[in-house]
Amino acid sequence: MDRSVCSFYQKIGACRHGEKCSRKHIRPSESKTVLLANIYQNPKVSTNENETMNDKQMIEAFDHFYSDVFKKLATVGEVERIVVCENENFHLSGNVYVRFTTAQAANDAVMLLNQEWYAGRPVYCELSPVSSFQEANCRAHDTNSCTRGDHCNFMHVIRPTDDLRVRLRQAQDKQIALTKIRLAMGDPSWGMQWEEPSSEKYKRESVPQATSSVPITSNNLETPGDIGGDPEDSKVEAVAKLFGKE
């Protein structure tokens, strides 16, 4: 790497020296990763003595924050990964890095989020040069063995509970599947009844009774081809092909 380029900014997406750094901070013109700077308010470094939390409250508070961010970003594009930093130094504290599946989604997120506020503060969002979270991650922090404290320049990652992470991922996958089906059917409202929980109790309909004494045989049984076919059948076939099922 060019020695005139700041390696920390390229690898971590943030530098302790900020704009005063003697080396170049090359901001990407295109990236799948965005940075939301200092958006997470870490209760561990809170200066308000009246806001102390126990471990359970901190886990619940972080899950709430993570859910807020994920749901907002998922409206822009498919979220591949979210990394939240709990470092105690200013240039990394509360930073949230979001990896989308496309550069277009990342660009759209920057345009949208810079007009937003969160927890009473303006949101600052920009494209980030971070390409590998593995290289940016502090492995010692993951094992509670980092001794550098607020001098550590690698990401101290805080993670949501497994249950929340799985539920958010499943919800996103469901929404993506619904979008594909709606496009295939040409019906933007298809399946909306499944997006909200129903308040009606399920009631099984009674089995219809035969009204004719004529026995059903292969000779007199009507088929969809005999009566022109059900238009819904073609939609079902289209969806089956969409997901690779014949």
pLDDT tens profile 15-74:
999 888 999 999 999 999 999 999 999 887 765 666 678 889 999 999 999 999 999 999
| Per-domain boundaries in the chain | 27-160, 162-192
CATH fold of 27-160 reads: Alpha-Beta Plaits (3.30.70)
Does pLDDT of 198 surpass 90? no
Using CA atoms, how far residue 52 sits from 42, 55, 163, in Å, is: 11, 10, 25
Q: Tokens standing for 148?
A: 């550098």
Q: How far is CA 7 from the centre of its chain?
A: 28
In whole angstroms, how far apart are CA 55 and each of 59, 60, 80, 106, 109?
6, 9, 28, 33, 32
Query: Residue 223's pLDDT band (boundaries 50, 70, 90)?
Result: very low
Q: Which amino acid is at 209?
A: Q
Whether the Cβ atoms of residue 92 and residue 153 lie closer than 8 Å to each other:
yes
pLDDT in tens, 73-102: 999 999 999 999 999 888 999 999 999 999
Largest Cα separation within the chain, whole Å, is: 93
Give pTM, 2 decimals: 0.75
| Comparison of pLDDT for 225 and 121, the residue scoring more | 121
What is the average pLDDT score of the chain? Answer: 83
pLDDT at 197 over 80: no
Query: What are residue 99's DSSP bridge partners?
Result: 33, 81
**Higher local confidence (pLDDT), 217 or 60:** 60
